[in-house]
Amino acid sequence: LLFPQAFPAGKDFSPLKFNNQDFTHLRDYCLSRGLLFEDDTFPTHVSSIGPNLLSEDKLSRLQWKRPTMIERNPHLVVDGVSRFDIVQGEIGDCWVLAALGSLTLQRQFLENVLPKDQGFEENYAGIFHFRFWHFGDWVDVVIDDRLPFLNGRYLSVQPRSRNEFWPSLLEKAYAKLRGSYQNLHWGYISDALVDLTGGVQVQFLLQKPPSDLQEIIKAAAKSQCLVGCTTPGGVKLKNGLVKGHAYTVTGATEIPYKNGWEDIIRVWNPWGHGEWRGPWSDEMSCQAFAEQFSLLCICNNTPSFLEFGDQHGTRWSLAMYVNQWARGLTAGGSNYHNGNECPKDCRGTINNFLPFQGLRDRLPVAFFSQYKSKILKCGFNVATRDVTNYFFLSPGTYVVVPATSEEGQEAEFLLRIFLRMLLSPCYMEKLRHREAE
């Protein structure tokens, strides 16, 4: 199946109804009968929390409360949406909240995830809805507003303002999409960034950072990307950072320092406290950033950060395909690795990839057996749901082979190919002339 784009555009955008629940219909039904909505597809039950997140004793003491039971005058949003509205709760979902913090900086994405047709002031019926990108489709997730509390404290994310509830309700909707609150307890920031944008994410391992790291981050900020990062686990940090933790990158710039310039990067901790105590306080040098963090993740609806802010010389197009791996047919796996670790960075130029430019029919099984040693084996040792690589290619015909990590695994998959076509110097000059007019 081929789709034109991943990100919704225009007023005709209509997401799928998750669990076949229609927000407007359900709210109107409750309002007409004077009821507060109770979601039987994500009930106030251990199944919504998850069996292993809390001990049996804590599960027995869990309470579910509506915002109207907690505050006299609750609001969905107070004075706009900000990352400073978020304070992480008992659940280890920093990967979600760091992505959410980045989302608040990019209104073009935020307004899609957080619909405005809801609140506590008008037509309140205990029902809310939020939108997420879910395996190739935008889905509208309906929830009731009963939130889990343990010993009088939020189990999930808590709002910094006592009467502002968008963070807690959005997190509940995401927990419902993922199956339970337990499924938010540890994960990958790259997954959350994609789910909040429908975009494409690219990761950079900072043990061997690219030489143009600062330029990449500045280009990401200029092109309104979402940017997050993580610290390595198993390392004791005495500089204010938290090990094995996700952060939001909120800015990158250069400032005059001594007799030159210093590249600095600003990060935000979803805990709401605990910041970098090294030079530059909440901000740090690019060198310190690469030393202290293990992973940088950048996401946008197109890989615009690869343009380094240049909008003249490139145009992006997207092809999106949905298919499945079937045992004995297409689930071939990647066992040709023979235990070797796949490349950590698969960027680069592909020359003389495979000699099949003249083929026009379906590739036979023998083809893959013959050339499997030449196939670029990228991403199979990465446990993330989403594997992304980018390449610089010469004109020609190429084969992209999605593969399972083990032979015989069956699942559906989504393949998206973003293409950037370099424009001719003549055409670029015409664009500049047109803009000058």
Phi, psi of 253 (to 5 degrees): -160, 180
CA distance 352 to 354: 6
56 inside domain: yes
432 inside domain: no
128 inside domain: yes
Phi, psi of 301 (to 5 degrees): -70, -20
Using the 8-state DSSP alphabet, how is residue 178 labeled? H
434 inside domain: no
Do 205 and 333 lie in one domain? The reply is: no
CA distance 119 to 127: 9
In DSSP notation, 237-289 reads: --SS--TT-EEEEEEEEEEEETTEEEEEEEEE-TTSS----STTTTEEEHHHH
Cα distances (angstroms) measured from residue 253 to each of 107, 184, 263, 433:
21, 33, 6, 30
One-letter amino acid identity for 89? G
Which is more confidently placed, 244 or 392? 244
Three-state SS at 140: strand
**34-45 mean pLDDT:** 97
Range of the domain at 264: 199-307
pLDDT for res 343 = 32
3 inside domain: no
347 inside domain: yes
436 inside domain: no
Three-state SS at 359: coil
Do 121 and 20 lie in one domain? The reply is: yes
pLDDT per residue over 355-403, tens digit each?
555 666 677 777 767 766 655 555 444 567 888 887 778 877 777 777 7
Question: What residue has token string 């690019």?
Answer: 286
pLDDT for res 115 = 95
**Domain stops at, among 196, 229, 254:** 196
Do 27 and 76 lie in one domain? The reply is: yes
Do 339 and 240 lie in one domain? The reply is: no
Say whether pLDDT at 116 is over 60. Answer: yes
Question: Domain containing 211 — which CATH number?
Answer: 3.90.70.10
Do 257 and 369 lie in one domain? The reply is: no
**Domain stops at, among 307, 322, 353:** 307
How is residue 63 written in tokens? Answer: 């309470």
Do 191 and 80 lie in one domain? The reply is: yes
Specify whether the CB–CB gap between 319 and 417 falls below 8 A: yes
Do 244 and 149 lie in one domain? The reply is: no
CA atoms within 13 A on the CB side of 370: 8
Specify whether the CB–CB gap between 286 and 293 falls below 8 A: no
Phi, psi of 33 (to 5 degrees): -115, 5
Beta bridge partners of 224: none
Q: Which residues are catalytic?
A: 94, 245, 269
Phi, psi of 95 (to 5 degrees): -65, -35
pLDDT for res 273 = 74
How is residue 298 written in tokens? Answer: 């950048």
What does the mean pLDDT of the chain come to?
82
Do 33 and 156 lie in one domain? The reply is: yes
Structurally, the chain folds into a number of domains equal to: 3
